[in-house]
Amino acid sequence: MGKRILVIEDDEPTLEIIEFLLQEEGFDVIPADTWEIVRLVEEIMPDLILMDDVLDGKFGRDLCKWLKSQSRTSNIPFILMSAAPYIERTAREACADDYLVKPFDIEDVTTVVVNILAQTHP
């Protein structure tokens, strides 16, 4: 079994594309589109979280910041995705490990994920 990646995205086509791309790279992808994410994170303890910044009017950056402040989840790499022009700053302020700008090139998804996992799970 590959590294477990929790992907939180409320746009179904985008979620399906990301899931397909990462599975092709050998990752075990857990797709989610709900805000029961804290329970899910603590239940599966993924190797990486890839999350859209805006979901149903709530912000992935808030979840990222909170998870990074908790001792049990602080080491889980977190990548924020957004079409917003300020995602780089937002990701940095939320203590995210990296970010993806939407729309993204499909190769960018796997490159960012592989690079972060190489740095955090050598």
Average pLDDT across the chain, whole number:
91
Confidence at residue 39, expressed as pLDDT on a 0 to 100 scale = 80
Which residue has 């979280």 as its token pair? 49
> Minimal CA–CA distance to 102: which of 11, 3, 6?
11
Confidence at residue 72, expressed as pLDDT on a 0 to 100 scale = 92
52-107 tens-digit pLDDT? 998 877 789 999 999 999 999 999 999 999 998 899 999 999 999 999 999 989 89
The gap from C-alpha 89 to its chain's centroid, in whole angstroms, comes to 16
Confidence at residue 34, expressed as pLDDT on a 0 to 100 scale = 67
Q: Which domains does the chain have, with CATH numbers?
A: 4-117 (3.40.50.2300)
